[in-house]
Structures are given as structure tokens and as C-alpha cells.
Structure 1
Amino acid sequence: MLNKPEYTLFKNTRYALSGLIEVIRNESSFKLQLLLFFGMGTFAWLLPISPLYSAILSISLFIPLLAELANSAVERVVDLVTLEYHELAKRAKDAGAALVFVSLVMTGAIWISTLLIAFYF
């Protein structure tokens, strides 16, 4: 395969960090997700709840970040194939957007249920 670089632990790490930096630089949605990650993560540890509950809330904030990274990858692959409108390209991008949406709903559900348990049980 022509586009397959040699892999080692250090090269893989460099590729991963390069991809992360590229997404941070070029995706406003990911920047917003990072802002929410740090803001809500800080808020989770300032709440008067058990450290276990704070950890659950903090860890759940990774879900939308991971979904946004996957969505960005889908968008780049679709754009590589075609920049013109195509129904399948739209479906692929919509599915990536749906992934992000579901991840946010899931994270919200985790926060609501965890806070209800922490404060009322």
C-alpha cells in the first residue's frame, strides 16, 4: 500500500499528536468541546460531592471529544473523495454529526443521573 507509513511506538504517538493538533487548529466544534471539557471538568471537581462522582462526571466528558474526533475523520475522508454534493457523502457526514449529538445526550444523561444520585441518595 502506497500510503502506509512505517509504524513504531514513537511514530504512532507522533502521528496521533499530529492528528490531534490538526483537529484542534481546524475544527471549531472540537475547540468548543475542549472548552466544555475543561470548564465542566473543573466544575465537577468543585461540586460538594464524593470524589468518585466527580471522577465519573469528568471521565464522561471524554465521550463527546472522542465522538468529535471520529466525526472529523469521517468528514475528512468524505471531502477527500468528493467536494461535490452527493447523497452518500451527506449521509456519512450526517451520521458523524449524529454520533456527536448522541454522545452529548449520553454525557448529559450521565451527568443528570450522577448528580441525582450524589445529591438525593
Structure 2
Amino acid sequence: MESPFKGKTGVVRIWNAFHYSLDGLRAAFKHEDAFRQEVLLAIVLVPIALFSARSGAEKAALIASVLLVLIVELVNSAVEATVDRISLEHHRLAKRAKDIGSASVLLTLLNLAVVWGFIFLS
């Protein structure tokens, strides 16, 4: 069965989706410590990327690696919230889902370090 909220189309759907996205960003910032820390990291790194990179491609790669961390953290937070909504009891599959989400954030942070390292050390 389809969600009853799927009936909107066109500009109304885009407008609603935009506001749902802003709600998600606000919720993540309010409830997720890791997201706030990564936003702070982005506030520091994005200006460095804009002023230090030698080319547009370098700026794009540096900023994309920062934004990717935020994106993956949002998905990880959504997974964790969903798992917690289903049950707060300890279960091996719940732990696996949360650990895999955490691993995805770790890999994006490693990716950020590699991209920044290659660009600034070469």
C-alpha cells in the first residue's frame, strides 16, 4: 500500500520536500551530537577549501568530501532513529545496523582525510 502522503505532485511536492528536508536538518542539528561536530568541521574546512585550493576541481573535491561526511551522518542518524523506534532492546541485528552505519561515517571521514591529504601534500 502506498503512503497517503505520496499524492502531491509538481511544485507542491517540491515545496513540501524542501520543507521536510529543512525539518530533517534542524532535527539532526538539535538531536545529534556527531552531526553538530561535523557541521563545525564543515564551517572550518569549507572556507579553507575555497581559499586554499588551486583549481575549481580541487575546490570541488575538497568541499564534496566534507559534504559527503554530513550526508552519510544524516543517513546514519536516520538508521539509528529507525532502529531505536522499532525497539530499544539489545538485538544483534539492531547492533549490526548501527555498527554498519557508524562504519559508513568512519569511511567518509577517512575519505575526507585522503582527499585533503592528496590535494594539499602534492
Q: TM-score range by the shorter chain?
A: 0.7 to 0.9
2:77 equivalent in structure 1: 72
Distance (whole Å) between structure 1 residues aligned to residue 3 and residue 84 of structure 2: 17
Work out the number of aligned pairs and report it.
Answer: 117
Higher helix share: 2
Unpaired runs of at least 5, structure 2: none
Structure 1 unaligned regions, length at least 5: none
Look up the match of 1:47. Answer: 52
Q: CA RMSD in A?
A: 1.8
Residue 84 of structure 1: SS of its match in structure 2? coil
Task: Choose from 99, 117, 120 the match for 1:94.
Answer: 99
Gap change, CA 1:77 and 1:3, over 3 Å in 2: farther
Structure 1, 25-34 or 47-56: larger mean CA deviation: 47-56
When normalised by structure 2's length, the TM-score is 0.86
Q: State which of 95, 105, 108 in structure 2 corresponds to 1:103.
A: 108
Q: Counterpart of 1:102 in structure 2: which amino acid? A: L
Aligned-pair CA distance for 1:48? 6.6
Q: Distance between the aligned counterparts of 1:64 and 1:48, measured in 2?
A: 19
| Alpha-carbon offset, residue 114 of structure 1 | 1.4
